[in-house]
Amino acid sequence: MKHLFKQGDSQKPVFLLLHGTGGDERDLLPIAAFIDPTASILSVRGNVLENGMPRFFKRLSEGIFDEADLTLRTAELHAFLKEAATNYGFSLERIIPIGYSNGANIAASMLYRFPHVFEAAILLHAMVPIRNKEIPVLEGMKIFLSGGEHDPIVPIKETKELQQALIAAGGDVSLYFGTSHQLTQTELNAAKNWYQQSY
C-alpha cells in the first residue's frame, strides 16, 4: 500500500495514520505531531478510489458499506501492517491507529475482526463498521472515540452504539463529542490529554 514511515523514539508507540475520504497519507501528519512528535508514524493511503478520492474500502452510498470489500480491505491492511512491522523493525503490538472518518471506520473494522490488533486506538468520527458481529475481547484496550453532536454523517446514536460495543468487548473507552464531522482543536486537545495520561 502507498505509505510513508517515519522512525521515532523506539520506546514510543507507532501511530498508524488513516485518512478520511479524499485524503492521503500526508493529511494526518500534523495531528500525529500534535499528539506526540516523538512517536513513529506509519501513514497509509487507502487503496480504493471513489471518483478519484482515495478511501480504505468501497461503499454503496453514504454510510452504507460494501461489506465484502470492507472484509477484503481490512485483511489487506492487516497483512500490510505485518509486512511493514518486519520491514521497518517495529512491534505489531505497539500500533495505535489515529483514524478519521473513513480511516476510523477501517480501524474499527480491524477491532471487529482481529484480536489484540492494536495497543490502543484513536477513532475520530468512526461509525459501526459491521453489525451482527461481536468484537473479539479487547482486554482493557484504551480507546479514544469521538463523534459530533450535529455530525451529519455519524449520528450521535451510532457513536454511542459503537461505544457500547467496544465497552461490551472490554474496551476502556473515552468518549468525546464535538460539534459536526470536522475535526476541531478542542477535540484534538482532548485526544492529546487522553494520550498523555498513558504515555
* Closest CB 79 distance from ligand MLT, rounded Å: 21
Taking the complex as a whole, the smallest distance from the CB of residue 63 to ligand MLT amounts, in Å, to 5
Closer CB to ligand MLT, 28 or 127, in the complex: 127
Asked if 54 and 24 touch (Cβ cutoff 8 Å), the reply is yes
Residue closer to ligand MLT (CB basis): 23 or 171:
23
Q: In the chain, helix, strand, coil percent, each to 5?
A: 35, 25, 40
181 given a catalytic annotation: yes
How far apart are alpha carbons 52 and 30 in whole angstroms?
24
Amino acid at residue number 79: A
Measured distance CA(198)–CA(189) in Å, rounded = 15
Smallest gap from residue 59 Cβ to ligand MLT (A): 5
* Grid cell listed for 90: 517495529
Is 151 one of the annotated active-site residues of the chain? Answer: yes
Q: Which residues bind ligand MLT (CB under 6 A)?
A: 20-21, 59, 62-63, 101-102, 105, 127, 153
Catalytic residue among 40, 43, 101, 109: 101
Can you spell out the DSSP letters for 71-129? HHHHHHHHHHHHHHHHHHT--GGGEEEEEETHHHHHHHHHHHHSTT--SEEEEES----
Beta carbon nearer to ligand MLT, 8 or 20: 20
User: Can you tell me whether residue 144 is helix, strand or coil?
Assistant: strand
Nearer residue to ligand MLT within complex by CB, 6 or 58: 58
Annotated catalytic, 78? Answer: no
**Residue 196 C-beta: closest distance to ligand MLT, Å:** 28
Catalytic pick from 24, 172, 180, 181?
Answer: 181
Give me the active site residues, please. 101, 151, 181
